[in-house]
C-alpha cells in the first residue's frame, strides 16, 4: 500500500495503579497506525495532558510520564493531528481522542458557527468534541454524534467518571476491550495487540453504536444506539491492522493467510503456478506471501532486506525525499538473480511503488516477477478517511474510467494492462468474492466501498 492518507489509533486504561506508563506502552503498540503525532491525557482530579510530534517511544521522556499522574488515562497516535484535546466545559473537564473521519465537517462547522460557536482549527476532533460538549451530559453528547456526524469514529472521552468508549453505528473502525485476570486493569484499544502485550485478555469488541463506561466496576454499557448495519473496514484485515491482532473475532494473520492462499489457488486453477520463490513486499505483503507459500508449496524467501537504521521517512520534507528514503530502507538480496519470483502485496493504489520494486528486482537479475495482490482492484476513493481520497490516485481508474469490474474478462484485461504498466510478467488480484471469503465474515458486515463503490449508508442517512 502506497498512500494511506490518515490513520490513527486510540488506547485507554483504567487501573488500580498509576496508568501513564501503560497508556504510553499501549500507544507504542499501536504506532503502526500513525507515526506523525502522539499524545496522552490522564486524570487524577484534574486532567494532565501532553502531545508531541513524532513517535511515542522517542517523544515521551520518563519525567513527563511521571507528571501524567492518575489511575485512568487515554492515548492517541496519528498521521494527521495532535490528540487528545482537553476541554474545560460546563459538564466538567474532559479530554477527547478518536480514530476516524468526519465527512460532513464543513456542514457541521457552518451550522455551529451559525449558532455562534467558534473553532480554533476546525479539525475533526474539535468538531466531535464540540458536539459532545453541547449535550446535557457526556452520554447524550456522545449519542448526538450518531445523529449529526456522517463518517467513521471510534472514540474515547476521559472524564471524572472514568473513560467513555464509543463506536459509530456502523463500526467502521475497530475498538476492543480487554482486562487482566486480577481485575485491576480495564483497557480499550484500536487493536487487540496492545491488550495482549500488556498481559490483558481480550474481553470483546465494542459494538457499533455502543457507548461503554470504564471505571472501578469494569465495563458497563451506558447506551446502545440503533445500528442500521455493520460496515467494518475490510482494509483492516488486509493492510491496516498488525498481524498479531484479532478484529471482530477474526485473526488478522489468518485472514492474510487466506488471502494469499486464495491467490495461489487461482494460479493452480489457471495453470499458472510456475515460480522458484514467493516473496512479500515488506511489511504489508508478509502474511499474504506466507499464505501463497502454504497453498502452492513454493519456497517462501525474502527478497528485500529492511534497513531498520534508515532515517524515519516522515522526517523528509518532500515526496521525492520520502521516496528516496523509502528506497534506502529496502535493499535487494542478490539471491534473486535468475529467479522466477511471485511478489505479494496488499493492494495497488497509484502503482508507482510496486513498479519501482519490480524494476529493482529485474535490475538485480530476477528472471520473472509475477505480482499477486491480496485486495481486489481499488476503483473508488474512501470517504471514511482510511485510504485514498480521489479517483486521480487510483491507477486502476486510468484503465477503466467509469463503471465497475464485474466479470473475469474485465479483471483479466485490467491485470494484463497493469502488468505492462508496472513492468511485471503478470499481475493478479483477488476477486471481491474471494476477498470476502478469505475474511470469514458476511459481506453485509463489511465496508467494501473502495472496491465496489456501494456505500454502507442507507439512502438519506445524514446527508
Ligand atoms: S472505503 Fe475502503 S478503506 Fe474506506 S472504510 Fe471502506 S473498506 Fe475501508
The domain spans of the chain are 8-227, 250-452
> Which of 320, 152, 135, 346 has the alpha carbon at shortest distance from 238?
346
Closest approach atom of ligand 1 to CA 456 = 6
* pLDDT tens digits, 124-133: 999 999 999 9
Closest residue to atom 5 of ligand 1, CA basis: 233
- The protein residue with its alpha carbon nearest to ligand 1, atom 6, reads 447
Q: Please, are residues 267 and 428 in contact by the beta-carbon 8 Å criterion?
A: yes
Say if residue 454's pLDDT is above 80. Answer: yes
Q: Is 8 a catalytic residue?
A: yes
pLDDT tens, residue by residue, 269-323: 999 989 999 999 988 899 999 999 999 999 999 999 887 766 544 445 556 665 6
Taking the C-alpha atoms of residue 107 and residue 74, their distance in angstroms, rounded to an integer, is 29
Ligand 1 surroundings by CB, under 6 angstroms = 172, 233-235, 382, 384, 386-387, 447-450
Of the options 3.40.50.300, 3.60.20.10, 3.30.450.90, 3.40.50.620, the CATH number for the domain spanning 8-227 = 3.60.20.10
- pLDDT recorded at residue 4: 47
Predicted local distance difference test score (pLDDT) of residue 371: 98
- The pLDDT of residue 3 is 47
Which pLDDT value is given to residue 459?
83
For 169-211, write each residue's pLDDT tens digit.
999 999 999 999 999 999 999 999 999 999 999 999 999 999 9
Report how far residue 121's alpha carbon sits from residue 118's, in angstroms, rounded to the nearest whole number.
Answer: 9
CA-proximal residue: ligand 1, atom 2 (nearest)? 450
The class that CATH gives domain 250-452 is alpha beta
Catalytic residue among 8, 19, 233, 447: 8
pLDDT, average across residues 339-355: 95
Q: How far is the CA of 405 from the centre of ligand 1 (A)?
A: 17
233, burial (CB in 10 Å: exposed 0-12, middle 13-18, buried 19+): buried
How far away, in angstroms, is 141 Cα from ligand 1 center? 27
Mutate to test the pocket of ligand 1, among 171, 443, 448 (most ligand atoms within 8 A of CB): 448
Read off the C-alpha cell for 454: 456501494
Q: Which residues of 369-406 are buried (b: 16+ CB within 10 A; e: fewer)?
A: bbbbbbbbbbbbbbbbbbbbeeeebbbbbebbeeeebe
Question: Alpha helices of 32-150 — where are they, by DSSP H?
Answer: 56-59, 62-67, 105-114, 124-133, 138-148
Q: How far is the CA of 62 from the centre of ligand 1 (A)?
A: 38
Phi, psi of 81 (to 5 degrees): -150, 165
Ligand 1 mean position, distance from CA 66 (Å): 39
Q: For residue 388, give the ligand 1 atom closest to its CA.
A: 3
Residues 363-389, mean pLDDT to the nearest whole number: 90
Residue 386 C-alpha to ligand 1 middle, in angstroms? 6
Separation of alpha carbons 218 and 224, rounded Å: 17
Give the number of residues written for the chain: 463
| DSSP character at residue 31 | G
Distance from C-alpha of 217 to C-alpha of 203, rounded to nearest angstrom: 14
Ligand 1 center–CA 403 separation, angstroms = 18
Report which ligand 1 atom has the smallest distance to the Cα of 380. 1
Nearest atom within ligand 1 for CA of residue 233: 8
C-alpha span between 350 and 393 (Å, rounded): 6
pTM above 0.85, yes or no: yes
Interval between CA 120 and ligand 1 midpoint (Å): 29
Residue with CA at minimum distance from ligand 1 atom 4? 382
Mutate to test the pocket of ligand 1, among 2, 378, 387, 456 (most ligand atoms within 8 A of CB): 387
Mean pLDDT across the chain, nearest whole number? 93
Q: Given ligand 1 and candidates 230, 386, 444, which is best to mutate, with the most ligand atoms within 8 Å of its CB?
A: 386
Domains 8-227 and 250-452 in one fold: no
Q: Is the pLDDT of residue 223 over 50?
A: yes
CB 448 within 8 A of CB 379: no
pLDDT digits (tens, 9 = 90+) for 389-428: 688 889 999 999 998 999 999 999 999 999 999 999 999 9
pLDDT level of residue 62 (50, 70, 90 thresholds): very high
User: Which of 7, 450, 454, 456, when mutated, tests ligand 1's pocket best, judged by the most ligand atoms within 8 Å of its CB?
Assistant: 450
CA of 449 to the centre of ligand 1 (A): 6
Q: Which value, to the nearest 10 degrees, does the dihedral of the CA atoms of residues 376, 378, 382, 387 take? A: 90
* Helix H or strand E segment including 162: strand 162-167
172 CA: nearest ligand 1 atom = 5
- Dump strand ranges (E) for 268-328: 277-280, 299-300, 304-306
What grid cell was written down for 414? 485490467
Amino acid at each position: 500500500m502506497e498512500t494511506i492518507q490518515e490513520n490513527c489509533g486510540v488506547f485507554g486504561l483504567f487501573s488500580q495503579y498509576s496508568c501513564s506508563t501503560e497508556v504510553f506502552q499501549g500507544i507504542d503498540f499501536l504506532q503502526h497506525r500513525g507515526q506523525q503525532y502522539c499524545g496522552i491525557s490522564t486524570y487524577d482530579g484534574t486532567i494532565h495532558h501532553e502531545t508531541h510530534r513524532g513517535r511515542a517511544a522517542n517523544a515521551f521522556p520518563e519525567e513527563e510520564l511521571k507528571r501524567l499522574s492518575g489511575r485512568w488515562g487515554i492515548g492517541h497516535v496519528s498521521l494527521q493531528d495532535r490528540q487528545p484535546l482537553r476541554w474545560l466545559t460546563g459538564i466538567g473537564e474532559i479530554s477527547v481522542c478518536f480514530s476516524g473521519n468526519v465527512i460532513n465537517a464543513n456542514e457541521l462547522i457552518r451550522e455551529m458557527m451559525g449558532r455562534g460557536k467558534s473553532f480554533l482549527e476546525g479539525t475533526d476532533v474539535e468538531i466531535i468534541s464540540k458536539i459532545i460538549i453541547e449535550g446535557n451530559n457526556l452520554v447524550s453528547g456522545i449519542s448526538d454524534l450518531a445523529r449529526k456526524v456522517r463518517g467513521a469514529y471510534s472514540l474515547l472521552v476521559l472524564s471524572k467518571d472514568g473513560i467513555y468508549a464509543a463506536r459509530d453505528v456502523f463500526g467502521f473502525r475497530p475498538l476492543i476491550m480487554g482486562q487482566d485476570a486480577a481485575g485491576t486493569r480495564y483497557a480499550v484499544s484500536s487493536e487487540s495487540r496492545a491488550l495482549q502485550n500488556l498481559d490483558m485478555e481480550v474481553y470483546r469488541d465494542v459494538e457499533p453504536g455502543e457507548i461503554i463506561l470504564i471505571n472501578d466496576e469494569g465495563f458497563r454499557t451506558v447506551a446502545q444506539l440503533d445500528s442500521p448495519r455493520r460496515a467494518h473496514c475490510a482494509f483492516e484485515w488486509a493492510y491496516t491492522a498488525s498481524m498479531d491482532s484479532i478484529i471482530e473475532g477474526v485473526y488478522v494473520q489468518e485472514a492474510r493467510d487466506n488471502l494469499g492462499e486464495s491467490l495461489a489457488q487461482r494460479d493452480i486453477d489457471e495453470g499458472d503456478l510456475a515460480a522458484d520463490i514467493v516473496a512479500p513486499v515488506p511489511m504489508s505483503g508478509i502474511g499474504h506471501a506466507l499464505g501463497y507459500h502454504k497453498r502452492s508449496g513454493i519456497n517462501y524467501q525474502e527478497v528485500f532486506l529492511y534497513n531498520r537504521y534508515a532515517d524515519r521517512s516522515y522526517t523528509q520534507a518532500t515526496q521525492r525525499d520520502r521516496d528516496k528514503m523509502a528506497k534506502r530502507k529496502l535493499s535487494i538480496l542478490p539471491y534473486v538473480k535468475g529467479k522466477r519470483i511471485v511478489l505479494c502485496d496488499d493492494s495497488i493504489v497509484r502503482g508507482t511503488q510496486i513498479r519501482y520494486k519490480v524494476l529493482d528486482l529485474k535490475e538485480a537479475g530476477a528472471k520473472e516477477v509475477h505480482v499477486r495482490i491480496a485486495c481486489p482492484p481499488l476503483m473508488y476513493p474512501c470517504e471514511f478517511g482510511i485510504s485514498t481520497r480521489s479517483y486521480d490516485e487510483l491507477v486502476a481508474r486510468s484503465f477503466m474510467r467509469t463503471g465497475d469490474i464485474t466479470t473475469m474478462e474485465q479483471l483479466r484485461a485490467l491485470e494484463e494492462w497493469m502488468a505492462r504498466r508496472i513492468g511485471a510478467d503478470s499481475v493478479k488480484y483477488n476477486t471481491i468474492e474471494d476477498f470476502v471469503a478469505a475474511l470469514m465474515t458476511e459481506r453485509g458486515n463489511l465496508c467494501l466501498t473502495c472496491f465496489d463503490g456501494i456505500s454502507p449508508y442507507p439512502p438519506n442517512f445524514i446527508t
